[in-house]
Amino acid sequence: MSLAREALHPHRVEDVADIVRDAVGGLRIRGAGSWMHVGAPVVAAHELRLDAFRGVRHYTPGDLTISVGAGTTLAEIDAATAAHGQWCPLLPWGDDRGSVGAAIATATGGPFAEALGRPRDLVLGLECVDGRGRIVRAGGRVVKNVAGFDLTRLMVGSWGTLAVITEVHLRLRARPSADVTLLVEGATTTAMRAFQHGALPPLAALPLGEATARTLGHPGPGAWLLRLGGNAPQVAAARQALARIGACIELGARSWDVVRHDQAPPPATHWTWTPLMKRVREAFDPRGVLNPGLLGEAA
């Protein structure tokens, strides 16, 4: 769909700023390339590739924060943090081959967003180049920060139409000491909803379509995939409560990869542009250089 004719491949944020300032004909931003099919057709003269912005730049496990280049894949972040018993619970729909920059730019949640945080809740700060070519370093590496106006939240979910994200600072969590994935069969939706909102809320609870249930080897109506996390007594109590609702089969945590992969990342819907949103877009990218057309805005 993209009509990119030429790829630009910067290695430093200053180069990204130069490219944006000099751009003629629009830039299509590309991280790991796994999201290029979503959104409206982009008409851009160039593709701006961010795969050189890759890797962990700062990680002190005791702080439960990590700073990574925007082109780093989610799988790479998972590998780096797992070694310390931690994880970045971003885990969006789709798979972990996508870049963290894309996950943040599209604000894509996943099955654990309700319990562990949405992208806007997990991003502590970021570095980006806005459409005017300014290098912006917003937020920081600390978990609480109200210094200045919140450019971080503005960039999360802006689909690269305000700025090119080059680095992100993320909040991590310790992996729960007990972590169980269960398939519950024969449960009513009412009972499952009540469980979800009860005293022992799961990390995720997802009703499975027939095809997905079959992929997991358990076809049948009313199948739910549940993930329980916490300390051992908590998870044991939750399992007991669940057993009264339906038949529970223990599956591996890998089942979530299947489920996440089955759910395509949500496409960039054609936004309903409010006057305020248009002002924001024009203020940060006055020449309409970044991802032009992706969100269906009037040319």
Site residues for other proteins per CB under 8 A: 60-65, 85, 107, 120-121, 130, 132, 134-138, 140-151, 153-154, 156-158, 162, 173-177, 197, 199-200, 230-238, 268-272, 274, 276-277, 279-280, 283-284, 295
Query: Smaller CB distance to other proteins: residue 195 or 212?
Result: 195
Query: Smaller CB distance to other proteins: residue 153 or 261?
Result: 153
For the CB of residue 115, give the shortest distance to other proteins in the complex, in Å: 12
* 208: its two tokens: 């499975």
CA distance 58 to 63: 11
Q: Buried b / exposed e across 141-178, counting CB within 10 Å, b at 16+?
A: beeeeeeeeebbebbbebbbbbbbbbbbbbbbeeebee
Query: Smaller CB distance to other proteins: residue 117 or 219?
Result: 117
For the CB of residue 215, give the shortest distance to other proteins in the complex, in Å: 28
For the CB of residue 78, give the shortest distance to other proteins in the complex, in Å: 17
Query: Smaller CB distance to other proteins: residue 188 or 269?
Result: 269
CB atoms within 10 A of CB 32: 25
For the CB of residue 163, give the shortest distance to other proteins in the complex, in Å: 9
Query: Smaller CB distance to other proteins: residue 208 or 268?
Result: 268
- Helical residues (DSSP H) of 26-128, grouped into ranges: 74-82, 100-105, 113-116, 119-122
For the CB of residue 188, give the shortest distance to other proteins in the complex, in Å: 18
CA distances (Å), origin 224, targets 189, 190, 221, 250 = 9, 12, 9, 12
Looking up tokens 């997905």, which residue turns up? Answer: 212
